[in-house]
């Protein structure tokens, strides 16, 4: 069943630079489509398009006789939840420079794409705009699947959520810092976990040494299920680093940390210390040890790995494209 779901949700003909992102997030959270969102009435030279909710479908409507006027498309809030938001309503996807010359936008036919809060989706680089346009281009006719569009989701997060809630995001990340995945060690005196401990020493210790050299404090490792407590100096150094990030970096770090259960891994990836596959190996170190011992569950472990690869790689691709020219 898992393979069938993957084939239905993932588009096999993604461009090469998005190959690593072509596997959809398999587990979709149950979510109802948000109430109808209506744009403010525009001038007489443009038409108004509205998303209206009917069950789990969203339709695009326009006033009669105004289809040829310039307009925009505003994605409903449900776009950010992972639910299918309706059938594909456009034929052509392209990019163009923003009207003020500051950034790039995505066009669905003749409509300018907007964020869920009805702000123009103004992207910092043409590379990122083209990548997001590719996500829209490869949507299937039977439905728009936001869970196959990680770059679009990250762009909306960087443009809208981060500027408004930066302090809260940092606060939430620091609350979990003492329980960071890389600080936790399996017991070395137990037959079932001793091999995990050995792998942790081999794979994670180099990252901890980097943290010590980068921030001036040696991380504390622990075996307690409830975590330990890091030195105040290290906590403050990490928090200060987060405060200095730009919005795209903050969005990437927050997304990676949520999937990795590790702020250290997220920072290491954003700063170029860890490559994608290295990070995935650290995140799955304990589970992969169990797979080696008991075997891989097809339709379970393989789906988890594919999902993790999308969640970890997409923020790095997003960040790289947001900086390229």
In this prediction, residue 186 carries a pLDDT of 85
pLDDT in tens, 68-90: 444 556 655 555 555 777 888 89
In this prediction, residue 325 carries a pLDDT of 60
In this prediction, residue 15 carries a pLDDT of 39
Domain definitions of the chain by residue range: 32-148, 159-323
Q: What is the pTM of this model?
A: 0.74
pLDDT in tens, 15-67: 343 433 433 333 333 333 333 333 333 333 333 333 333 433 433 444 344 44
* Least reliable range by pLDDT among 100-104, 135-139, 302-306: 302-306
In this prediction, residue 32 carries a pLDDT of 36
Looking at the predicted structure, is the pLDDT value of residue 202 above 80? yes
Looking at the predicted structure, is the pLDDT value of residue 148 above 70? yes
Q: Where are the alpha helices (DSSP H) in the chain?
A: 2-9, 126-137, 150-156, 162-175, 194-215, 232-243, 247-260, 263-270, 276-283, 285-294, 301-323
Looking at the predicted structure, is the pLDDT value of residue 13 above 90? no
Q: Which CATH superfamily is domain 32-148 in?
A: ATP12-like (3.30.2180.10)
Alpha-carbon distance 285 to 181, whole Å?
A: 10
In this prediction, residue 77 carries a pLDDT of 57
Looking at the predicted structure, is the pLDDT value of residue 159 above 90? yes
What is the CATH number that goes with domain 159-323?
Answer: 1.10.3580.10
* Least reliable range by pLDDT among 94-103, 113-122, 154-163, 197-206: 113-122
Q: Angle at which helices 263-270 and 276-283 pack, to 10 degrees?
A: 170
Looking at the predicted structure, is the pLDDT value of residue 238 above 80? yes
104, HSE (Cβ side, Cα atoms, 13 Å): 19
Structure-model confidence comparison of residues 123 and 35, the more confident one: 123
Q: Angle at which helices 247-260 and 263-270 pack, to 10 degrees?
A: 140
Alpha-carbon distance 11 to 196, whole Å?
A: 36
pLDDT in tens, 252-269: 999 999 999 999 999 999
Alpha-carbon distance 232 to 102, whole Å?
A: 41
Structure-model confidence comparison of residues 272 and 71, the more confident one: 272
In this prediction, residue 173 carries a pLDDT of 97
């Amino acid at each position: 069943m898992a393979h069938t779901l993957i084939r239905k949700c993932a588009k096999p003909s993604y461009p090469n630079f998005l190959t690593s992102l072509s596997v959809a997030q398999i587990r979709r959270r149950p979510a109802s489509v948000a109430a109808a969102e209506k744009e403010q009435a525009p001038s007489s030279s443009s038409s108004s398009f509205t998303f209206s909710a009917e069950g789990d479908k969203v339709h695009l409507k326009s006033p009669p006789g105004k289809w040829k006027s310039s307009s925009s498309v505003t994605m409903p809030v449900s776009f950010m939840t992972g639910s299918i938001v309706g059938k594909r309503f456009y034929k052509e996807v392209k990019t163009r420079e923003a009207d003020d010359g500051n950034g790039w936008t995505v066009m669905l036919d003749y409509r300018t794409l907007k964020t869920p809060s009805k702000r123009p989706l103004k992207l910092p680089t043409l590379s990122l705009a083209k990548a997001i346009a590719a996500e829209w281009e490869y949507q299937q006719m039977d439905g728009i699947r936001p869970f196959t569009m990680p770059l679009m989701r990250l762009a909306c997060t960087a443009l809208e959520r981060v500027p408004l809630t930066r302090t809260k995001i940092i606060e939430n990340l620091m609350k979990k810092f003492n329980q960071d995945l890389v600080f936790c060690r399996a017991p070395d005196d137990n037959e079932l976990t001793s091999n995990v401990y050995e792998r942790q020493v081999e794979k994670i210790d180099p990252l901890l040494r980097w943290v010590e050299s980068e921030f001036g404090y040696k991380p504390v490792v622990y075996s307690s299920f409830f975590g330990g407590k890091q030195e105040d100096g290290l906590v403050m150094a990490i928090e200060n680093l987060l405060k200095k990030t730009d919005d795209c970096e903050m969005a990437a770090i927050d997304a990676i940390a949520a999937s990795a259960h590790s702020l250290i891994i997220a920072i290491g990836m954003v700063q170029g210390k860890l490559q994608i596959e290295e990070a995935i190996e650290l995140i799955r170190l304990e589970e992969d040890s169990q797979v080696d011992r008991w075997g891989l569950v097809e339709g379970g472990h393989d789906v988890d790995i594919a999902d993790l690869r999308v969640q970890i790689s997409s923020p790095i691709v997003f960040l790289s494209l947001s900086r390229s020219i």
